[in-house]
Amino acid sequence: MLVNFLVERNTISYVGCAIQLGSAVFFGTVECFLLAVMAYDRFVAICSPLLYSTKMSTQVCLQLLAVAYTGGFLNGSIFALSFFSLLFCGPNGVNHFFCDFAPLVELSCSDVHVLAFVSSFSAGSIIVVTVCVIAVSYVSILTTVLRMRSPEGRHKAFSTCTSHLTAVTLYYGTITFIYVMPKSSFSTDQNKVVSVFYMVVIPMLNPLIYSLRNQEIKGALKRALGRKIFS
């Protein structure tokens, strides 16, 4: 993608396009699972703090990580196989900044109804399952927090979840728009704009979203901004 910004003639091979599509779906799916795991982690930390070391042991974390990467591999494979099932017999200019599935389907001259359904069902199922895990975790967290008598305890619990909820809202909002909503409800240009958010902007924002709770990071950022303003 970065190379395409720098060269005049933007080309990619057939296999390269499949690898790019599969990789994007793979890492996107892993992100969904990891966000669900992080929600579960916060649920255990707030609702069962005394059992945290047992429920989130190193072995459990490795198992959850294996599930995330296995799910990413399976979903990425489905999209890659769907790509290889497409027939291209006309224009070969992808109206996008990377090989995403929707613009590739538009170029295909084969019947895409089944493939579009399979890919949407696969992506939609993962989104629904992970969103359900996140929703159940946060409903339980909210119930526990509301029972707390200490205002400081409530504030600490909410501050623990704020960064994660921000990342979840940004990420799931964009991928739902791209992979689940009917393709007739938005244009290719809108697709490209939203894709920039979940492919480029959100990954760039994640370090800031998660690190700004750290007091040392906050202090360093204030000092850096102060030097910029007064220099």
In which residue are the tokens 């728009």 written?
177
Can you give the residue range of the structural domain that contains 10?
2-230
pLDDT at 230: 62
Check if the beta carbon of residue 47 is closer than 8 Å to that of residue 141: yes
* Residue 208 C-beta-side C-alpha neighbours within 13 Å: 6
pLDDT at 71: 94
pLDDT at 11: 82
pLDDT at 9: 76
Which of 205, 20, 206, 177 lies closest to 96 in space, CA to CA?
20
Sign for the CA dihedral angle at 217, 170, 132, 22 comes to negative
Joined together, the tokens standing for residue 112 give 């895409």
- pLDDT per residue, tens digit, the chain (231 aa), is 677 677 777 788 889 889 989 998 999 899 999 999 999 998 998 888 888 988 999 999 999 999 999 999 999 999 999 999 888 887 788 877 788 888 888 888 888 888 888 888 898 899 899 999 999 999 998 888 888 777 777 777 777 788 788 888 888 887 777 666 655 545 666 777 777 777 788 888 777 777 766 667 667 777 777 776 665
pLDDT at 180: 62
Phi and psi (nearest 5°) for 87? -105, 135
CA separation for the pair 140, 186 (Å, rounded): 35
Question: DSSP assignment of 144-190, as one string?
Answer: HHHH---HHHHHHHHHHHHHHHHHHHHHHHHHHHHHTS-GGGS-HHH
Joined together, the tokens standing for residue 200 give 């480029």
Q: How many domains does the chain have?
A: 1
CATH number at residue 188: 1.20.1070.10
Joined together, the tokens standing for residue 174 give 């964009």
Check if the beta carbon of residue 137 is closer than 8 Å to that of residue 43: yes
Joined together, the tokens standing for residue 86 give 């497409």
pTM: 0.81
